[in-house]
Amino acid sequence: MQKRTERRTKGTLFVISAPSGAGKTTLCKRLLNKKSDLRLSVSYTTRSPRKGETNNVDYTFITKSRFMKMLEKGAFAEWASVHGNLYGTSVRRMEELNRDGYDILLDIDIHGAMQMKKSCENAVFIFILPPSIDTLQDRLVKRGTDSKEVIAQRLDNAKAEIAYYKDYDYIIVNDSIDRAYRELESIITSSRLLMSKVNPKWIKKVYNV
Ligand code: 5GP
């Protein structure tokens, strides 16, 4: 498995958010499959597992009381309540991934992302948008799982979330999953090539400057 090489000393933290239905999960999964040196920091959540989800892979599923205890102990780098459930990013898991030489991906909501922005200035913030509100509505209607009222609520939430776009570094419009993926990959690649990530000791060794 290829991890951070001698050329780079510092890892990169990528924070990805999107209103629900924008295709973020698909894009993140594809990215994690292709980039062996990028790892998802698995979040803790109080929501119940969905069909097909695995504990400690998709999330670590815990009770509300355990979540509150962890919160009190300062175990979370950020946390938020999303659709009535609690979600949090573990400080320890991020530290371990960083120590092991991985770049880190956080798939978190806008409120969590804003907390990370305060504590982690050098992180790269990426926002994924649906092509339009109409497409989002079409997707929700076609899915057929929500009532008219719930769909209206989800669309209102999506609009409120989209209003945060200015707080992100990169905006990807997911009108074609392949193009959106290529754009996402190019952000990852270019962020890794930043001069600030280069190991000066390696430059000295190879170029003697
Ligand atoms: P879902 O329950 O559908 O997997 O996720 C709901 C929302 O919670 C998504 O927007 C997801 O990005 C967000 N989320 C997942 N883990 C975390 C976390 O650790 N912190 C925060 N703030 N949001 C999270």
Q: Residue 13 above 60 pLDDT?
A: yes
Distance 179 CA to ligand 1 centre (A): 24
| Helix-then-strand count for the chain, H and E | 8, 9
Give the residue numbers spanning the domain of 184: 13-202
Q: Is the CB of 107 under 6 A from ligand 1?
A: yes
d(CA 192, CA 133): 33
The model's pTM is 0.93
pLDDT tens column, 178-192: 999 999 999 999 999
* Residue 156 domain-assigned (yes or no): yes
How far apart, in whole angstroms, are the C-alpha atoms of residue 192 and residue 145? 40
What pLDDT, on a 0 to 100 scale, did the predictor assign at position 2?
47
**Ligand 1 contact, 43 CB (< 6 A):** yes
Q: What is residue 170's predicted lDDT score, i.e. its pLDDT?
A: 98
Pick from 135, 127, 125: which is nearest to 172 by CA?
127
CATH of the domain at 79: 3.40.50.300
48-83 pLDDT, tens digit per residue, is: 998 899 999 999 999 999 999 999 999 999 999 998
Sheet containing 124-129: give its strands across: 38-40, 103-107, 13-17, 124-129, 170-173
Domains held by the chain: number: 1
Cα–ligand 1 centroid distance for 21 (angstroms): 13
How many angstroms separate the CA atoms of 160 and 59, rounded? 25
In this prediction, residues 182-205 reach a mean pLDDT of 95
Tell me which of 1-15, 96-110, 123-137 is least confident: 1-15
